[in-house]
């Protein structure tokens, strides 16, 4: 294991940092800060938390993720992907236990970084990532129907079927003013970019912030009959929250391990995906393990301020890059911008309509899904389609942890099947037999046969050795295995070779191995199988194996030749 190191990307960017770069980082920080404000509140409310919790999650976690992470441009904070997970935890365990689960997840993320699990996260197949991403988008969309339509549901269940049943049975409580404002907000959001192209001044204002300001001002003036942050949450305090440890009891700690693991897993996947996407745009390479450590520390600390789970946000990170952010300073400044907004403008937040925040989350859900992958499923194999659709459906109906576990199991099984299919054992012709009659029995059948092994001889392909010799045929006296094209051998494959060797010896046959690649040869020698098969029976190539066979044929039962 490599030496554990703690080296935030910020340290690499400080040498040579100048006023010009600070100006670009400041511009990016201002833009991302105003974009993060409505998203933080919307994601918090959708997760069953207060808008204040969302804002302080963006401030505290956003600062720490940038300052301590392994990416130059990562922007951290609450994200839409966490909504169904956090909402389910709040419904089942309560807000205080969500804070505890967040801290546990933070500790897990730190350990993942320390033990260099960041590189392993990259091995999660694309099918699994697409499946759970699209599934999360559907779950988020379903959860927003209540506030989008203004349905009078006191407690929306976290479980899929209970949620659908509650929404369907309460459709008669639809509030027309809320629906009208939701549709209007959605229309403005969807048309914002098009209008901004015609009026460049609008292009400097993020769509979510623009619609939030317009709806809030309209509600403050017209006193619309819709639910607001003030009516549901009592507004946003204009102060820094006091530090406080969440309540913790040993009775619930064990129950929170699984939710915490889900938070940590999703946080690791989303943050590293975001960092990898950003790398391609700035021609840099993030440190995945340092990124996990930074994410973990942020999630350990943010609950002390009443905040909840945070991770790298792909959309905000992309905005940071587009507006000139190139160092972690931009992310730290974005947190400062949010802090300044809260301290200066918190009283106005009480007029923000929840319908508008719901419309913002709906757009986020639609945009986060890779729906084009469904349209193109016909181009891919049954294995690809099965893994993606299974992960998607289990995410929607059950939960993300089960979906990822199922997706990984399916992807692994299909990979094993594919690798097994690629592993071949084929009879290899030996032209020399026609020139050496004593290599043949009197009836013309061969005393020496050779087989070529292709691919990987592992636990999923060991059955290929079982059909190597036909019992109905006269058995040879020497069997040569040409392993030139065998790139990998595991312990189960080695066990198969040992079994083959013993069976051949019982029949009075000798086994020769030739043209071994480094990995199979290393395992064969380290395991002691080389002595079992005979050190002299490990041959450099086929010609050496045939020469060894000539020695063995007259007296292959002579132990001195083995």
Position 1 scores a pLDDT of: 47
Closest CA to 500 of 492, 4, 186: 492
Closest CA to 439 of 546, 534, 307, 319: 546
Record the tokens describing residue 407, joined without a space. 């997706």
pLDDT tens digit sequence for 335-364: 999 999 888 888 888 899 999 999 998 988
Alpha-carbon distance of 103 to 216, in angstroms, equals 34
Read off the pLDDT of each residue in 83-100 and give the average, rounded to a whole number. Answer: 92
Q: Please name the helix (run of DSSP H) or strand (run of DSSP E) that holds residue 483, with its range, or none.
A: strand 478-489
Supply the pTM of this predicted model: 0.78
The answer to whether 474 and 507 are in contact (CB under 8 A) is no
Residue written as tokens 């998203």? 39
- Model confidence at 561: pLDDT above 80: no
Residue written as tokens 């992309």? 318
- Determine how many CB atoms are found less than 10 A away from the CB of residue 5: 11
Read off the pLDDT of each residue in 41-70 and give the average, rounded to a whole number. Answer: 95
Position 556 scores a pLDDT of: 41
Read off the pLDDT of each residue in 83-110 and give the average, rounded to a whole number. Answer: 93
Maximum CA extent, the chain: 107
* DSSP code for 3: P
- Model confidence at 526: pLDDT above 70: yes
**CA atoms 153, 155, 156, 162: torsion sign:** negative
Query: Where does the pLDDT of residue 473 fall: very low under 50, low under 70, confident under 90, or very high at 90 and above?
Result: low
Closest CA to 425 of 449, 444, 448: 449
Say which range, 108-122, 426-440, 449-463, 489-503, has the weakest mean pLDDT. 426-440
Alpha-carbon distance of 474 to 469, in angstroms, equals 10
Say which range, 151-155, 161-165, 251-255, has the weakest mean pLDDT. 251-255
Could you tell me the residue ranges of all domains in the chain? 21-368, 424-561
Alpha-carbon distance of 367 to 154, in angstroms, equals 28
Centroid of chain to Cα 38: 26
Q: Which CATH superfamily is domain 424-561 in?
A: STAS domain (3.30.750.24)
Query: Where does the pLDDT of residue 529 fall: very low under 50, low under 70, confident under 90, or very high at 90 and above?
Result: very high
The answer to whether 300 and 106 are in contact (CB under 8 A) is yes
Alpha-carbon distance of 144 to 487, in angstroms, equals 52
């Amino acid at each position: 294991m490599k030496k554990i190191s703690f080296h935030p990307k910020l340290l690499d960017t400080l040498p040579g940092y100048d006023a010009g770069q600070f100006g670009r980082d400041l511009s990016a920080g201002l833009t991302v800060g105003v974009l993060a404000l409505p998203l933080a509140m919307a994601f918090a409310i959708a997760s069953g938390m207060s808008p204040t919790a969302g804002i302080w999650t963006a401030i505290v976690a956003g600062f720490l993720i940038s300052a301590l992470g392994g990416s130059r441009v990562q922007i951290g904070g609450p994200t839409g992907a966490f909504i169904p997970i956090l909402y389910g935890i709040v419904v089942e365990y309560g807000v205080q236990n969500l804070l505890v689960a967040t801290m546990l997840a933070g500790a897990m993320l730190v350990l993942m970084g320390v033990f260099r699990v960041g590189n392993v996260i990259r091995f999660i197949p694309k099918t699994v990532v697409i499946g759970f991403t699209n599934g999360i988008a559907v779950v988020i969309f379903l959860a927003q129907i209540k506030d989008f339509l203004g349905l009078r549901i006191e407690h929306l269940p976290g479980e899929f079927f209970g949620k659908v049943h509650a929404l369907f049975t309460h459709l008669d409580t639809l509030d027309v003013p809320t629906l009208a404002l939701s549709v209007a907000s959605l229309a403005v959001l969807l048309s914002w970019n098009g209008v901004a192209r015609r009026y460049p001044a609008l292009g400097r204002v993020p769509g979510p912030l623009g619609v939030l300001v317009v709806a809030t001002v309209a509600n403050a003036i017209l006193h619309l009959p819709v639910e607001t942050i003030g009516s549901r949450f009592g507004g946003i305090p204009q102060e820094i929250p006091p530090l406080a440890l969440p309540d913790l009891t040993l009775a619930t700690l064990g129950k929170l391990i699984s939710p915490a693991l889900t938070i940590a897993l999703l946080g690791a996947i989303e943050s590293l995906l975001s960092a990898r996407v950003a790398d391609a745009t700035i021609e840099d390479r993030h440190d995945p393990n340092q990124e996990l450590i930074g994410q973990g520390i942020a999630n350990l600390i943010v609950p002390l301020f009443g905040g909840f789970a945070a991770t790298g946000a792909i959309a905000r990170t992309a905005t940071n890059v587009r507006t000139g952010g190139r160092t972690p300073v931009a992310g730290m400044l974005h947190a400062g911008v949010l802090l300044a907004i809260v301290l200066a403008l918190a009283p106005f937040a009480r007029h923000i309509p929840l319908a508008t925040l719901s419309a913002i989350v709906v757009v986020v859900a639609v945009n986060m899904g890779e729906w084009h992958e469904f349209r193109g499923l016909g181009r891919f194999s049954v294995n690809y389609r099965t893994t993606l659709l299974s992960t998607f459906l289990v995410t929607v109906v059950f939960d993300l942890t089960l979906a990822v576990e199922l997706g990984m199991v399916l992807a692994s099984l299909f990979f094993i099947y594919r690798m097994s299919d690629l592993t071949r054992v084929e009879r290899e012709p030996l032209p020399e037999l026609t020139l050496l009659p004593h290599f043949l029995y009197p009836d013309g059948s061969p005393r020496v046969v050779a087989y070529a092994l292709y691919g990987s001889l592992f636990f999923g392909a060991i059955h290929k050795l079982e059909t190597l010799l036909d019992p109905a045929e006269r058995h040879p006296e020497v069997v040569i295995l040409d392993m030139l094209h065998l790139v990998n051998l595991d312990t189960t494959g080695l066990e198969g070779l040992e079994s083959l060797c013993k069976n051949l010896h019982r029949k009075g046959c000798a086994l020769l191995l030739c043209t071994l690649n480094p990995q199979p040869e290393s395992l064969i020698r380290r395991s002691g199988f080389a002595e079992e098969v005979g050190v002299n029976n490990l041959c450099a190539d086929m010609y050496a194996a045939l020469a060894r066979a000539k020695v063995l044929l007259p007296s292959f039962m002579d132990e001195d030749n083995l």
